Structure 1
Amino acid sequence: MDTAQTSRPAPPLLSRLAAASPWSRGRIAGEAVLLLVLAGIAGTMYGAESSSAASGGAVALLVALLSLVRRSLPATVLLASCVLAGSVLGCGPLLIYASWSAGSRIRRPWRAVGAYAAGLVLYVVPALLADGGEGIPGLSLLMTAVLGGGPYLALAVVPGLASRYRAQRRDLLEALRRHNAQLVREQAMVARQARLLERQRIAQDMHDSLGHQLALIAVHAGALEVDPGLGDRQREGVGILREAARSAMRELREAVGILRDDTEEPPAPAPGPEPEAAGAPHARGAAGVDALVASSRSAGAPVELRRSGERRPLAAAADHAVYRIVQEGLTNAHKHAPGAPITVELRYEPDSLVVEVANAPVPEGAPSGPPAISGGQGLAGLEERARLVGGMVHSGPSPDGGFRLAGVLPYGDGASPVGREDATSVAAERDVRGQIPAGAAGDGGADMNRSDPKEYAAIMSSKKNVALGCALVSVVLVAGVGALLVWGVNKAIDEVEKGVIPAYVYEDARIGDAEAELRKQFPEGDSLLTDGVEKQGPPLPQDAVCEHYVDDEADIVYRFCFRDGKLVAKESYPHEI
């Protein structure tokens, strides 16, 4: 039989319980300890009060069950905890934790207000039904309800407000984080768009200006090369000039393509015959160093190439950086030290490749041409190129008076410890809040795509309302608790004054005195202070109405008994508290 067809949907209660968020091991251990503490307190205290271990165990089991389901059924557990806390000794801690869960999980404000209002009624009702519906002895039902509301504020309302504020603050921070991530992504997109537009403009300017000039040089050099009036040596020099112009045009096209395609390096050449054999341009890597040296030698410069160590492969970017370092070093030597010997050295060290181009001082008597034109950007560009692949470049005068340019480039994938500072990473570094995890600002942050300015505004509005509501409730709580304290102190003073008389009233009273005269010296009303003291003293006289009071300084009870409007007996005895 196909079990998939016979399976029944889970009941709604079980579905809601299963929908609770999964717990980690630490959370499971914490919940277990909390369950044992709450159940142990309630079961022990109620068992001691009722003198029944079975009753204590039943209460402990009920408290443990409510503690387990308080996260998935917050309102229901809150109401049940209010009933238990109002009628069963030891269930106050359960009400605190149930209110903490309900405050953060009952999302709708009016539903939360209704739940806590119903909880107040359920908490106070057991006290009102005590002693057959008469409430606390000596107090009216209204006073009993007011006195029961004070503990409810401390056990339920305060934890609920604190939990709700904590949850709202967490939601606000999450919304701010998503909104901030969206701003970072938008800033990265704007920066990337601006960079692309600038690169397009630079590429267009290079193509229109440099391309035209190089094309003219190549055309004029080609025409001059076939001039019959030139000798073989002059024709060879013109051929070198024309080839250099063609090479410069190829590199210009590569640079323009890189700028337009928004890439950092030219694409790797497709597999095929060797460049020299096929008549293709020279390789732009360590393999093209020989061609650079050969071109310089053909121009009449004394160049020496040295290699040492075991050759190892480099990443594409690092390999291209080798070519650019040698090219820049040879160019600078030709411009600033014409005729000086040049040494190009490639040293394959265990952890990196060292590229060095050094030239000696200009020989005395060497012909000097016009001043070299230099933009001052070549060395800065090399340093940036080497840094992006995890290497470094150093340049400066050598001890013999010449000039030295050296670079250190790593093997392998050439990954930089710093990384490429594109617009995204730069924007992420400017995120001073530090709340965006790694990769959140990239295109792969799926959860960040949910950020919505309307959601942010709605959450901010709700948080403002919650903040105002919490402030209002806090003011009401402070005012209410203060009023209850003042009322309680006054009530306690009244209760004491109703049951206390000074010692001279008892001493001045004589048997046979008129009851009306003596009662003028007694306080009016009954007092909880004298409740049950008649059972502590001698037996009451027959057919007499007795009044009991406590001394205002000592623990002594004074008894006055009247019959037929006369004082017939008075007695004093210790007050057992």
Structure 2
Amino acid sequence: MNATSWARDLWRRLTEPGQWSRRRAAGECLLAFVLAVLAAWGEYVTGHGWVRAVAVAVAVAVLSVVRRALPATALVAAGLLCGGTEGGGLLLPVVAWSAGARITGVLRALLAFSASFALYAALVVWIAHPGWVWLAVMHTLFFLVFAVVPGLANRYWTQRRTLLDTLRERNAQLLRERQMIAGQARMRERQRIAQDMHDSLGHQLALIAVQTGALEVDRELTGRQREAVGVLREASVAAMQELREVVGILKDGTHDEGQPASRVVAGIQGLVDAAAAAGMRVGLERTGEARPLAPAADHAAYRVVQEGLTNAAKHAPSASITVSLRYEPDSLVVEVANGPAPEGAGGRATAGAVSGGQGLTGLRERARLVGGMVFAGAVEDGGFRLAAVLPYDSAEAREAREARETTLVDGGGDFRQQSWAAGPGEGGAVIDLLDPREEFKDIMSTKKSNGCLLGCGIALLILVALAVAAFFGVSKAIDETDKAMVDPSVYASVKVGDPEDQVREKLPSGKSVLVSDLQGKGPAAPAGATCLTLLSKGGSTDVNTDTVDRFCFKDGKLVEKREFDVKN
């Protein structure tokens, strides 16, 4: 790849759509500015001058901006800058945080962090502080805390978020498939019921219609008998028509083609006329402007009237009945009310009337499914009233219907445990039911989950290494400090002319790297004397100045003690 294509690819990654939203651009610019200012200030206060401070600030700002597009390159450059300058330390954790999530592949990330650490350690240990090999432990600890830990933390957090997103998508897919399975199960059951109804009830009703038709033309029947047989024939034909409609609804949820769309308008009048022809005193009242209902609500209204007339015929055959349809602003009110049965034989309930006891329960369920309600009970004058409130086909009713149609199977048991006898060619399940353990194994076998587990293991090892390094580093630092520093009270208690053995017993050994570069600094030592150079615990208030206590011995006695300041 030549320089032109490399630059074009870099520009494409920097200007990728969605990479720089207004909020992100503002945040990145602010972060780069703050890091650049802090880096320039750090360089300037340590005495490196404005030229170097500005150069370091520009480098920090550039690396901060490109760290998303070039994570590995920015990480290596940040390690180099942090090791060679005083102001680049704050950039390292920021770049490492981004690099941990954006460097693809564990091996590539390991190489990038290793290269960054190698450059950082080379500049800090071998260039900035030659001979301070023991400080490698402390700087290694610094790099682990401010570079490796942020990188691993962001890498783990990103992989965990990705894994959770994947699990959410898988869960949503399972829920959709669960809905499909439940919908297919309902459809198969409805088709089975429709087939049973068609095969059994359809056959019986057809026989009734044929027999009553033949009986109606029998010459031996009287006019009244022929009229009663005609009513039975019409009822059987109407029952067959209703059966066909119900079978059609059970099969695909729609009415048969060519049938009226509204039973409320076209069907209830027929029910009232049939009841009147059978000798019942019934009337129909309509109020309000007719409005369309959803098919299920329309069917429920028809069933309410049918059930009300049937109950009145059973329990109060001679009572007057009023069927009313009231079109309210938000719903249709269907009511069947009958007065008290007159006294006498005709006012008693029909002997042997068959009652399944499920009519009102079924009506309440129908109304509930369309967002309505049913009321039934006796009235003050001794009659009975059956009423239903059914909403129109509004947006709310459609939402309720759609929610009902997509209702999941009963949550009492896992849908994976359900099975159907139907095979693949008979509307079987649309997915293979997987064992949860196999599903979990499949999820955890993905690259991202493996990377997450590997990241957790590496993070644990690094934490253990950090704890060990911190323990040895602190112990070494304390030991080196004890060998190199003297208390001001000890310095004051030592007098020139004291025996060398007594003086050295009061002083530390001085065999520490903290004072290794102090040799030869300060005033000239007495000729022929052996000097012990130590750091004073009193110290100077200037962070760039060390207070040094020097003790010189000759011929077994202390010939000089001197305290002076040395610039770092």
What TM-score, normalized by structure 1, do the two folds share?
A: 0.80
Q: CA–CA distance in 2 between the matches of 1:340 and 1:55?
A: 108
Choose the corresponding residue for 1:540, options 512, 517, 525.
525
Post-superposition Cα deviations, 1:55-94, rounded to whole Å, max 9, x if no partner, equal: 3333223222222222222111111111122222232332
Structure 1 residue 221, shift from structure 2 partner:
0.9
| Residues 89/420 of structure 1: CA separation in 2 closer, same or farther (3 Å cut) | same
For 2:366 and 2:285, the matched residues in 1 are separated by: 23
Per the alignment, residue 480 of structure 2 pairs with 495
Retained in 2: the 8 A contact 1:127–1:144?
no
1:68 to 65, 69, 74: 65
CA distance, structure 1, for counterparts of residue 364 and residue 390 of structure 2: 11
C-alpha change, 1:235 and 1:470, in structure 2 (3 Å) is: same
Equivalent position SS for 1:240: helix
Return the offset for 1:248: 0.3
The 8 Å contact of residues 286 and 323 in structure 1, kept in 2 or not, is answered as: no
Residue 203 (structure 1) aligns with: 194
Q: Which residue in the other structure is 1:437 paired with?
A: none
Q: Residue in 2 aligned with 1:486?
A: 471
Question: For the structure 1 residues 369 and 480, does the alpha-carbon distance in structure 2 shift closer, same or farther, using more than 3 Å as the test?
Answer: closer
* Counterpart position of 2:90: 93
Greater Cα shift, 342-351 or 307-316: 307-316
Aligned length: 530
Residue in 1 that maps onto 2:289: 310
Question: Per the alignment, do residues 211 and 314 of structure 1 end up closer, same or farther by CA in structure 2, a change over 3 Å counting?
Answer: closer
Distance 2:332 2:60 in 1: 72
- Distance change in 2, residues 1:285/1:23 (3 Å): farther
Contact 1:71 1:101 in 2 (8 A): yes
1:527 aligns with 512
Partner of 1:289: 268
Alpha-carbon distance change, 456 to 311 in structure 1, aligned in 2, over 3 angstroms? same
Q: Identify which of 558, 561, 566 aligns with 1:571.
A: 561
Partner residue of 2:32 out of 35, 38, 58: 35
8 A Cα contact 1:71 1:102, kept in partner: yes
1:381 is the counterpart of 2:362: yes
Check the 8 A contact 1:315/1:414 in 2, yes or no: no
Distance 1:176 1:307, change over 3 A: same
Distance 1:18 1:49, change over 3 A: same
Separation of aligned partners in 2, 1:15 and 1:425 = 47
Task: Report the alpha carbon displacement of residue 311 of structure 1 after superposing the two structures with TM.
Answer: 3.2
Is the aligned partner of 1:347 residue 2:333? no
C-alpha change, 1:213 and 1:352, in structure 2 (3 Å) is same
Does structure 1 residue 336 correspond to structure 2 residue 315?
Answer: yes
1:130 corresponds to: 127
Query: Counterparts of 1:313 and 1:504 in 2: how far apart (Å)?
Result: 105
- The AA in structure 1 aligned to 2:238 is S
Amino acid at match of 2:386: L
Q: Deviations over 1:327-384 (max 9, x none)?
A: 2221221223212110011122233221111112222213443332233333333333
Q: Residue 526 and residue 214 in structure 1: after superposition, are their counterparts in 2 closer, same or farther (change >3 A)?
A: same
Q: Is this contact kept in 2: 1:392–1:409, CA < 8 A?
A: yes
The alpha-carbon distance between structure 1 residues 61 and 574, as it changes in their structure 2 partners (threshold 3 A), is: closer
1:455 deviates by 10
Listed as ranges, the matches of 1:81-480 within 5 Å are: 81-131=78-128, 135-136=129-130, 139-140=132-133, 143-261=134-252, 263=253, 265-267=254-256, 269=258, 284-367=263-346, 368-413=349-394, 415-416=396-397, 418-422=400-404, 424-426=406-408, 457=442, 459-460=444-445, 462=447, 465-466=450-451, 468-480=453-465
Between the aligned partners of 1:61 and 1:114, the Cα distance in structure 2 is: 26
The code of the aligned residue for 1:426 comes to L
Query: 22, 41, 46: which is aligned to 2:43?
Result: 46
3-state DSSP of counterpart to 2:326: strand
Q: Give, in angstroms, the shift of residue 529 of structure 1.
A: 5.5
C-alpha RMSD of the superposition: 3.7
SS at match of 1:526: coil
Normalising to structure 2: TM-score of the pair? 0.81
Amino acid at match of 2:40: G
3-state SS, counterpart of residue 401 of structure 2: coil
- The one-letter code of the counterpart of 2:182 is A
Change (3 A) 1:536 1:69: closer
CA distance in 2, matches of 1:306, 1:180: 53
- Paired residues of 1:537 and 1:573 also in contact (CA < 8 A): no
- Cα 1:130–1:504, aligned 2, differ >3 Å: closer, same or farther? closer
Which blocks of at least 5 consecutive residues in structure 1 are unaligned? 1-7, 276-281, 433-452
**Using the alignment, how far apart are the partners of 1:345 and 1:308 within structure 2?**
8
Aligned amino acid, residue 200 of structure 1: Q
Q: Structure 1 pair 24/128, CA: closer, same or farther in 2 (3 Å)? A: same
Q: Say which SS state the counterpart of residue 41 (structure 1) adopts.
A: helix
Indicate how the Cα distance of structure 1 residues 237 and 402 shifts in structure 2: closer, same or farther if over 3 A, else same: same
Structure 2 stretches lacking a partner, 5+ long = 415-437, 541-546
Mapped contact 2:510–2:533 kept (Cα < 8 A):
no
CA distance in structure 1 between the partners assigned to 2:99 and 2:258 by the alignment = 66
Shift of 1:37: 2.0
The 1:174/1:505 distance shift into structure 2, 3 A limit, reads: closer
* 2:407 counterpart SS class: helix
